[in-house]
Amino acid sequence: MAISYPHLKQRHFLPQRQHYTERDTMLYALSLGLGNDPVDESALPFVYEGAPGGLRALPSLAVVLGYPGFWARESDTGIDWVKLLHGEQRMRIHRPLPASAEVVGTTRVTHITDKGADKGAILVSERVIETTQGELLATVQSVSFLRGDGGYSQQPGGQPSDDPLPPLPATPADRAPDFTDIQITRPESALLYRLMGDYNPLHAEPAVARQAGFDRPILHGLASYGLVTRAILRQCCANDPARLKALDIRFTAPVYPGETLVTEIWRVPGQPNQLQLRARIPERDKVVLSHGFAELS
């Protein structure tokens, strides 16, 4: 069945109350591969409570907090969830995330854009993450590409189609990156990362992956997003998570667990606190994340 614009825009999401502990913060970082090198002391603040200054949370932990679950799979949405792909992720950090806290995530659908019957549709969901005392921690936007749901606005009766979000800037093509970061993903990384709350079988079951057009399970886009966050902290922030204020990026191709992720980062001329970036897989000579933009303090 076709998706219903008014139903999705008005869909009620119960606020998600979550108590995460230092163990959860460490597990998140470990699922991204921090600690793979036992002598890399730069990883310790994110995986070891005994590190100088205590345990710190990666800013990208925000994207898994207060998560309402894989709601697109629920029958009332009308979404062809097997063909859903994560298109972009945008995040604003309003204050550094505590290593442990009780938070509330409030989700809503903000945009639905019909690209056409053969081109799919774009859905944007926004989640605000606050402490139970009402302190705003982060705002995250997830842009989903609904490959099987294009043309809904041309169905009988006619349905609205929203303007898309402002486009993300392309990375420079006329100069080499100012920073390059290399990370090798673990073969079991998708199975580890799904413990963060995204249980889409696309990342675990080979049969489901093949049904979606992939030869094997793929890594979560948000896992790649976390790896890029780690690269920015290591290369541009002296490993200080409090310095990252925003990170937006587009997912252009899947990452397969076990591949090498090379993050390339450019300074924005005249803007010392802004970066542009992309990530590629050298084994396949493939750009997998593009149009990245980050803001630092």
Token couple for 281: 């897989």
Sign of CA dihedral 203, 216, 192, 179: negative
Query: Choosing from 33, 150, 221, 292, which is the catalytic residue?
Result: 221
d(CA 58, CA 25) in angstroms, rounded, equals 8
- Return d(Cα 128, Cα 65) in angstroms, integer: 10
H-assigned helices in 94-199: 189-193
Residue 15 tokens read as 């606020």
Q: Is 218 noted as a catalytic residue in this protein?
A: yes
Task: Give Cα 139 to chain centroid, integer Å.
Answer: 12
C-alpha dihedral sign at 115, 116, 118, 120: positive
Phi and psi of 7, rounded to 5°? -65, -45
User: Which listed residue (114, 181, 198, 248) is catalytic?
Assistant: 198
226 is a catalytic site residue: no
The closest alpha carbon to 24, from 103, 142, 137, belongs to 103
Active site residue 220: no
How many residues in total does the chain contain?
297
Give catalytic status of residue 203 as yes or no. Answer: yes
Choose, from 3, 93, 122, 218, the residue flagged as catalytic: 218
> Hey, which residues are catalytic here?
198, 203, 218, 221
